[in-house]
Structure 1
Amino acid sequence: MHIPGLKRAAVGVATMSAALLIGVVPGTASAASGPVSGADPSQCGVAGNVCVWEGAFTDRWALYEDLGTECVTAPFGMLATVNMTDRRVDFYPNGDCTGTPAHSEPSLGLHSWKSVGSLYSFRVS
């Protein structure tokens, strides 16, 4: 789902609020060292952050802050993301950012890709 303009940020915040209501289980999740530990789902709506989910905005999740362009291997197979960076994020089928990107999420985008299947790494472009 891609919503133009500022509406995307509002949808991201609404999605995070819904995740809190349905009881999303926090991940153990920073960019260089891995996900932010003890994160709150509301942080997924903060500019510069990327959140990923094991399910379609359900199950385990992880928050990443201060991402550079290095490859990030997720602690689980990902099926959804919220990209609050000002750059595109490319998701890969392998754990080392190799293979053709199976999904690219634009800046301020949120998306679930159940039809693609789990992806295991990502890189901010």
Structure 2
Amino acid sequence: MRLAHEGRLTAADIDPATHPQAALALLDRRAGRPGWARLLAADPDGERRARLAACPGLPPDVVERLAADPDVRVVAELAWWATPEVAARALALTTGRWQRASRPGLSPGRRTRGSASRWSG
């Protein structure tokens, strides 16, 4: 992976299926192939998807997929590095999922008996 970060490896040297960390390093340097980003966006490892979300110059379809990722760490990483418009869209998608996932009868912010935070005043 160090070789990829140092520019000693090129896209022709890497198979992203067998060396995803090296592929991520090249994508981070904008030296990877767009197809790699699509492959890694479907990776079951959330840490890899989060690293991918921090890469500059991702194809728009990959950005959209990462914005809708079920792992909030991936969405947060994308929001941190993306344009304000992409960040807002990613966070809106995540917020919508959280609201749909809430239990019936409980609105966000409504506390039930015993649910008070131990840190609240």
Q: Shorter-chain TM-score: what band?
A: under 0.3
Q: Which has the larger radius of gyration?
A: 2
Report the structure, 1 or 2, having the larger helix content. Answer: 2
Which has the bigger relative contact order, CA under 8 A and spacing at least 6?
A: 1
